Amino acid sequence: MRKFLIKVILGAILLLALYFVAVYYLTFSEGYRAGELVKISNKGIIFKTWEGKLSQGISEELQFNFSIEDKNEQVIEDLKNLQGQRVKLTYKERFGTFPWLGDTKYFVTKVERTKRLDSKEKD
């Protein structure tokens, strides 16, 4: 009985470790989003995480919520400085998240300032 219990506990620990590795290291997708940077904030009670919001249009449905890992200090600083401006975000989408990483599954890895092209500038 004792060997069985040890095997069950070790199996549970292994499954938990595999879940952690899958959620943290495997990405579901990678991509880009562009729009106006509406918000960047450091929020949370127990775990402080960096969260942001990108407006891609007038409607609430066209808003992109994202998180930034603490280790991406340059991205956080760039986002702070570019608030209210048009930006292009490079992000990766994970299968899930953990409370100490962020609220969303989308994690921004790079930010670039962009310009809106008017009809005069396109020609």
Query: What is the pTM (predicted TM-score) of this model?
Result: 0.77
Which residues of the chain carry a pLDDT beneath 70?
60, 116-123
Fold for the domain defined by 27-115? OB fold (Dihydrolipoamide Acetyltransferase, E2P) (2.40.50)
pLDDT at 119: 45
SS (H, E, C) the chain: CHHHHHHHHHHHHHHHHHHHHHHHHCEEEEEEEEEEEEEEEEECCCCCEEEEEEECCCCHHHEEEEEECCCCHHHHHHHHHCCCCEEEEEEEEECCCCCCCCCCCEEEEEEEECCCCCHHHHC
